[in-house]
Structure 1
């Protein structure tokens, strides 16, 4: 019973950052895009650190050069979006769709991406250091990775 309570509290603590955004600029007070449709939106160069895009539909959006450190992308649909040069470090992106995205030069260090899809994603110059990926995704990404990207993926 105690074990179940601990698991429940841990899961609830993960949802805490999903509270609606406040006006000031602190890390946990960013805009909440949870379960919204932001397809074709222009987020390029914006500071979206700690924001939530959980369950959002964000297809063909432009995040190039955006600061998204610590954001939540869980179960989001980002197919065809441009993340070139963005900071996605420490982003929770489990079960998200990144099919056909541009991740060139993107910082993906420390991301948690279990169950995500990176099919046909462009990854040249991306940094996956310390990323938590499914083994199958890692193998698929390693097939196309070169240079520093290949090293950051711990490719054989």
Structure 2
């Protein structure tokens, strides 16, 4: 079996339909496959991503539902629209990441670095940000539990370098 067919079969087994379609199009010669690593829409549901390096990757609309990512590196990654529901990312690095519009309910972000991250429009109900660093982060229109909001406000400071939004104002401190 060709490597491309193997990747197509794997994508179909994982129900990564977007990736499967992209591979099928490439297999049929209808469009070239991307040269750079492209992970947008990949399904990492219920996987172990501890200490993995996703820095600078396009992970838009990707699912990490139920995944674990202790010490994972998402620095500067594009995760907008991703699903992180019921996942655990303790001590992970999300500095400068785009987490806008993500569904991140019941996620463990304890000790995570969210410095300069954009979390605008994120739904983070039931999540834990205990000990997380949120300097220069933007939480505009994010849904965060009142307890987490109060806790984050104690150490929140700075202005997001991408959106220009004051962290404390975005948290409603």
Instruction: State the TM-score, normalizing by the size of structure 2.
Output: 0.75
Structure 1 unaligned blocks of 5 or more: 1-17
Return the alpha-carbon distance in structure 2 between the equivalents of residues 30 and 109 of structure 1. Answer: 20
Tell me whether 1:112 sits opposite 2:123 in the alignment: yes
Match in the other structure for 1:133:
144
Tell me whether 1:92 sits opposite 2:110 in the alignment: no
Question: Are the counterparts in 1 of residues 134 and 157 from structure 2 also a CA contact under 8 Å?
Answer: no
Return the alpha-carbon distance in structure 2 between the equivalents of residues 78 and 87 of structure 1. Answer: 16
Instruction: State the TM-score, normalizing by the size of structure 1.
Output: 0.83
CA radius of gyration, larger in = 2
Q: Any idea what the Cα deviations from partners look like across 1:30-83, whole Å, max 9, x if unmatched?
A: 110000001000000000000000000111000000000000000000001000
Return the alpha-carbon distance in structure 2 between the equivalents of residues 105 and 133 of structure 1. Answer: 18
**2:168 aligned residue (135, 141, 150):** 150
Match in the other structure for 1:39:
50
Structure 2 unaligned blocks of 5 or more: 1-13, 23-32, 34-39, 159-165
Q: Which runs of 4+ in 1 moved over 3 A?
A: none
Aligned residue pair count = 135
**2:79 aligned residue (68, 77, 80):** 68
**1:20 aligned residue (6, 16, 19):** 16
